[in-house]
Amino acid sequence: MNQQEQRWVEAARAGDKTAFSHLVEAYQRPVYNLAYRMLGNPQEAEDAAQETFLRAYARLGQYDPKRKFSTWILSIANHHAIDRLRKRRATFVSIDDNPVLQNLEGDAPRPENEALAMERSREMQALLIKLDPQYRTPLILRYWEGYSYDEIAQAMDISTSAVKSRLFRARKQMADLYRQRQAALIPPSSGEAQAAHGRYKRSTRDQEPPFYHAALVGA
Residue 125 — very low, low, confident or very high, per pLDDT cuts 50/70/90?
confident
Estimate to the nearest angstrom the gap between the alpha carbon of 55 and the chain centroid. Answer: 21
**Mean pLDDT for the stretch of residues 107-117:** 44
Give the mean model confidence (pLDDT) for residues 53-70. Answer: 92
Q: pLDDT by residue (tens digit) across 136-159? A: 999 899 988 889 999 999 999 999
Report whether 173 contacts 131 (CB < 8 A).
Answer: yes
pLDDT, one tens digit per residue, over 160-211 is: 999 999 999 998 888 888 888 777 766 555 455 455 445 444 444 444 444 4
Yes or no: domain 3-170 corresponds to CATH 1.10.1740.10: yes
Q: What is the pLDDT of residues 75-85, one digit of tens each?
A: 999 999 999 98
Q: What is the pLDDT of residues 85-104, one digit of tens each?
A: 888 644 344 434 433 333 33
Q: Provide the 8-state DSSP code for 14.
A: T
Q: What is the pLDDT of residue 1?
A: 65
pLDDT at 70 over 70: yes
Does the global pTM surpass 0.75? Answer: no
Output the average pLDDT for the chain: 76
User: Given a cut of 70, is residue 128 above it in pLDDT?
Assistant: yes
Note every long-range contact of 138-142, with CB atoms under 8 Å and residues 24 or more positions apart, other chains counting.
138/163, 138/166, 138/167, 138/170, 139/167, 139/170, 139/171, 139/174, 139/211, 140/33, 140/34, 140/37, 140/38, 141/34, 141/74, 142/167
Which comes out higher in pLDDT, residue 179 or 216?
Answer: 179
Give residue 186's pLDDT.
Answer: 61
The structural domains of the chain, with segments of one domain joined by +, span 3-170
According to the model, what pLDDT value does residue 191 have? 54
- Structural contact between residues 167 and 87, judged by C-beta atoms closer than 8 angstroms: no
What pLDDT score does 75 carry? 95
Mean pLDDT, residues 37-63: 93
